A = this chain, B = another copy of it.
């Protein structure tokens, strides 16, 4: 572990990211299991350098976890309860373990800084899950993609943050045509429909869905996809980013 210089970062302000991916007809988020404290789950997050914008900070944090360069990112809410971190039951255990782990880095000063009050800016990210290579960070035991229907209990208010992110995602999904960020570059209409079904937790009828999507004028129809199955081969589509 490198040094951790609290002077580099804005105090009392953090970023937490809800990273959405899509796989096996399920909407998933990337969460981390902590190496410390009660080994509880938490959202990837980090601090803001004094020399970078909050958007840059969010990008950097995401890049550290996913090793992706360009990521679709959206700020969705600030969480600023006065007891957010301070009153957490984990605080004490965490502080002790961090100090024991590396007393040179985790001095009392650093631990006080880390466990002080934090206002947290919530971002959600949409990624092509195939392209992500999760990077286990210094504080993580492991990273895991978990279905939004199977989210474990998480640290602090991270469960609440996740639910708010999901709500914001649904709100923006149609309006901003952001769904394509969750898919590979090329996909079938069925796959796109299944993504929508996973996000909204409901079914759509195939013909009306197709009509709606094609009417948006953002899809380019490519050649057919012959899978070897004994049925009509579906067309492949690509998102037309120029529009």
A interface residues, Cβ below 8 angstroms from B: 10-13, 48, 50-57, 75, 77-78, 80-82, 117, 119, 121
A-B contact pairs, 18 of them (CB 8 A): A10-B13, A10-B117, A11-B12, A12-B12, A12-B13, A13-B13, A13-B119, A48-B119, A50-B82, A51-B82, A53-B82, A54-B78, A54-B119, A55-B80, A56-B82, A75-B77, A75-B78, A78-B121
The answer for the CA separation of A121 and B121 in the assembled complex, in Å, is 10
The answer for the CA separation of A238 and B123 in the assembled complex, in Å, is 38
The answer for the CA separation of A12 and B12 in the assembled complex, in Å, is 9
The answer for the CA separation of A56 and B83 in the assembled complex, in Å, is 13
- Judged by DSSP, the binding face of A is mixed
The answer for the CA separation of A55 and B84 in the assembled complex, in Å, is 13
The answer for the CA separation of A10 and B77 in the assembled complex, in Å, is 19
Partner of A117, one of B50, B57, B75, B81: B50
Shortest Cβ distance from residue A182 to the other chain B in the assembled complex, whole angstroms: 23
Q: Would you list the 3 A-B pairs with minimal beta carbon distance, nearest first?
A: A54-B80, A53-B82, A10-B12
Using Cβ atoms and an 8 Å threshold, which residues of chain B touch A80? 48, 53-55, 57, 121
